[in-house]
């Protein structure tokens, strides 16, 4: 096992640091001649373009990846996107139509709730698309078409590199679906150039590791951590908080920043740590930790001393969630180690939940 971890102490740590490479393998051979080629979707693009809506379905981190993809899928395709947690869709027996494209997102391709929701969508006649990391999985066999994310095997129970590769796979999917639209050509070109530079920007943001370890040591005794994000980074807030909960066993909530004034603000006192994701496109009494674009520290935290700043490289706005989650993955990792918990096998959790 130690051989497989190489120079790393834990699989989660290794997988976080593998992201410059895993993102490259997700994109390998797929960005061609200024466009995107996805062999597993090619024959279905016309049908998808004609659909009435896209329904994203998944659980846990995979759901969060789909939530990160929602804004750019809507923008690049013009198709309305709705979000479904697989178990909740089944509980409600929510409406799925033949005119829908149901996109199932699952790292393992074996999550029971996601597979049952797939059976349900197939019965209802929807076109079913799979986004998975596991070739030959039940999900990839049962869906009509799809995209393998090619992130490489993920062993740590807490998903990290699969999350960022899922977002990139869905960005390529959105680019491919929207490729017939002349009005968004310039936008697509800028996202493709962002994808081409993403891996080097991820290498840059990984240099925050020591800073995140220091931040983690200042948070080890906190009872709770709030993470606020909005727009493209609402999903980053949910996913960052999920990482802290599942491995560091610390209460954490990700919230839509715009909703703060409608309730959560009541929780804020001098002691509650709050991470605000404010990369260029979003202050109060709590212990503020602000994530911002490099060079924006003075603008987002004019008071300087009272808030802590995490500066990250700026990339194409819709790809920013791939960058912004990485300091939070590192923070969750270091918090877990410093709090003395099991990184790769968190209490009560399984890598793949194959029961309902």
Residues in touch with ligand G6P (CB under 6 A): 59-62, 106-108, 111, 114, 157-159, 349, 351-353
Q: Which residue is nearest to ligand G6P (CB)?
A: 60
Rounded to a whole number of angstroms, the minimum distance from the CB of residue 66 to ligand G6P is 10
Rounded to a whole number of angstroms, the minimum distance from the CB of residue 97 to ligand G6P is 24
Nearer to ligand G6P, 114 or 279 (CB): 114
Rounded to a whole number of angstroms, the minimum distance from the CB of residue 45 to ligand G6P is 24
Rounded to a whole number of angstroms, the minimum distance from the CB of residue 17 to ligand G6P is 18
Tokens representing 276?
Answer: 């605000």
Rounded to a whole number of angstroms, the minimum distance from the CB of residue 25 to ligand G6P is 18
Measure the CA–CA gap between 330 and 10, rounded to whole angstroms: 12
Nearer to ligand G6P, 38 or 332 (CB): 332
What number of other Cβ atoms are within 10 A of residue 302's Cβ?
Answer: 10
Rounded to a whole number of angstroms, the minimum distance from the CB of residue 287 to ligand G6P is 28
Rounded to a whole number of angstroms, the minimum distance from the CB of residue 217 to ligand G6P is 25
Rounded to a whole number of angstroms, the minimum distance from the CB of residue 333 to ligand G6P is 14
Nearer to ligand G6P, 89 or 158 (CB): 158
CA atoms within 13 A on the CB side of 143: 31
Nearer to ligand G6P, 260 or 326 (CB): 326
Q: Environment class of residue 5 by beta-carbon count within 10 Å: exposed (0-12), middle (13-18) or buried (19+)?
A: middle
Nearer to ligand G6P, 158 or 176 (CB): 158
Nearer to ligand G6P, 192 or 330 (CB): 330
Nearer to ligand G6P, 184 or 345 (CB): 345
Nearer to ligand G6P, 178 or 346 (CB): 346
Rounded to a whole number of angstroms, the minimum distance from the CB of residue 266 to ligand G6P is 30
State the residue for tokens 């999985």. Answer: 137
Three-state secondary structure string covering the chain: CHHHHCCCCCHHHHHHHCHHHHHHHHHCCCEECCEECCCCCHHHHHHHHCCCEEEEEECHHHHHHHHHHHHHHHHHHCCCEEEEEHHHHHHHCCCCCCCEEEEEEECCCCCHHHHHHHHHHHHCCCEEEEEECCCCCHHHHHCCEEEECCCCCCCCCCCCHHHHHHHHHHHHHHHHHHHHCHHHHHHHHHHHHHHHHHHHHHHHHHHHHHHHHHHHHHHCCCCEEEEEECHHHHHHHHHHHHHHHHHHCCEEEEEEHHHHHHCHHHHCCCCCEEEEECCCCCCCCCEEEEEEECCCHHHHCCCCCCCEEEEECCCCHHHHHHHHHHHHHHHHHHHHHHHCCCCCCCCCCCCCCCCC
Nearer to ligand G6P, 63 or 234 (CB): 63
């Amino acid at each position: 096992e130690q051989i497989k971890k190489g120079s790393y102490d834990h699989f989660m740590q290794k997988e976080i640091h593998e992201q410059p490479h895993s993102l490259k393998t997700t994109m390998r051979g797929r960005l061609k001649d200024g466009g995107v080629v996805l062999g597993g979707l090619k024959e279905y693009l016309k049908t998808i373009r004609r659909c009435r809506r896209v329904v994203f379905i998944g659980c846990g981190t995979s759901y969060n990846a789909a939530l990160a993809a929602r804004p750019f899928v809507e923008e690049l395709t013009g198709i309305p996107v709705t979000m479904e947690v697989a178990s909740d869709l089944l509980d409600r027996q929510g409406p799925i139509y033949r005119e829908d494209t149901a996109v199932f997102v699952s790292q393992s391709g074996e999550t029971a709730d996601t597979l049952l929701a797939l059976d349900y969508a197939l019965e209802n006649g929807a076109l079913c698309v799979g986004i998975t990391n596991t070739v030959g999985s039940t999900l990839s066999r049962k869906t009509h078409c799809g995209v393998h994310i090619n992130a490489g095997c993920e062993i740590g129970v807490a998903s990290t590199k699969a999350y960022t590769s899922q977002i990139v796979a869905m960005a390529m999917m959105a680019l491919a679906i929207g490729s017939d639209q002349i009005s968004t050509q310039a936008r697509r070109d800028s996202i493709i150039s962002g994808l081409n530079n993403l891996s080097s920007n991820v290498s840059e943001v990984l240099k925050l590791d020591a800073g995140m370890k220091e931040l983690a040591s200042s948070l080890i005794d906190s009872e709770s951590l709030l993470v606020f994000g909005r727009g493209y980074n609402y999903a980053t807030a949910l996913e960052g908080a999920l990482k802290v909960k599942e491995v560091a066993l610390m209460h954490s909530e990700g919230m839509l920043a715009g909703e703060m004034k409608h309730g959560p603000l009541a929780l804020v006192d001098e002691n509650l740590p709050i991470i605000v994701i404010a990369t260029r496109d979003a202050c109060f009494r709590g212990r503020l930790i602000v994530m911002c674009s490099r060079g924006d520290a003075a603008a987002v935290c004019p008071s300087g001393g009272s808030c802590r700043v995490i500066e990250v490289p700026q990339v194409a706005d819709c790809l920013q969630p791939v960058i912004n989650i990485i300091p939070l993955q590192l923070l969750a990792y270091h918090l877990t180690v410093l709090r003395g918990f099991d990184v790769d096998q968190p209490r009560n959790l399984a890598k793949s939940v194959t029961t309902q």
